């Protein structure tokens, strides 16, 4: 699996944790109920144990690029169409 490049001194785990919490704060208008934090921590731990931090960060980058460029971002029948 490719390794996500980090240049700010963070570990992969720290980076995905920071980005996930930033995203959740945006979704919940800054209010994070305890059960949401617990669930997010659980999900992040599963991702870490599976060794998929890099994968999720790479996919997040591609998603951000497509959203900024207003590319078509949907799948049909399991294939990605631009």
Domain residue extents for the chain = 12-81
- DSSP character at residue 74: E
What is the rounded end-to-end Cα distance, in angstroms, of the chain? 24
Average pLDDT of the chain to the nearest whole number: 86
Token pair for 12: 């992969």
Q: What is the pLDDT of residue 70?
A: 63
Instruction: Record the pTM.
Output: 0.75
How confident is residue 66, by pLDDT bands cut at 50, 70 and 90?
A: confident
The residues facing 74 across adjacent strands are 81
Contact 79, 37 (CB under 8 A): no
CB count within 10 Å of CB 6 equals 13
């Amino acid at each position: 699996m490719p390794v996500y490049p980090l240049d700010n001194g963070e570990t992969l785990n720290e980076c995905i944790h920071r980005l996930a919490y930033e995203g959740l704060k945006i979704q919940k208008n800054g209010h994070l109920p305890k059960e949401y934090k617990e669930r997010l921590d659980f999900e992040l731990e599963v991702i870490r144990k599976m060794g998929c931090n890099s994968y999720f960060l790479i996919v997040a980058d591609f998603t951000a690029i497509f959203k900024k460029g207003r590319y078509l971002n949907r799948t049909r029948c399991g294939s990605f169409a631009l």
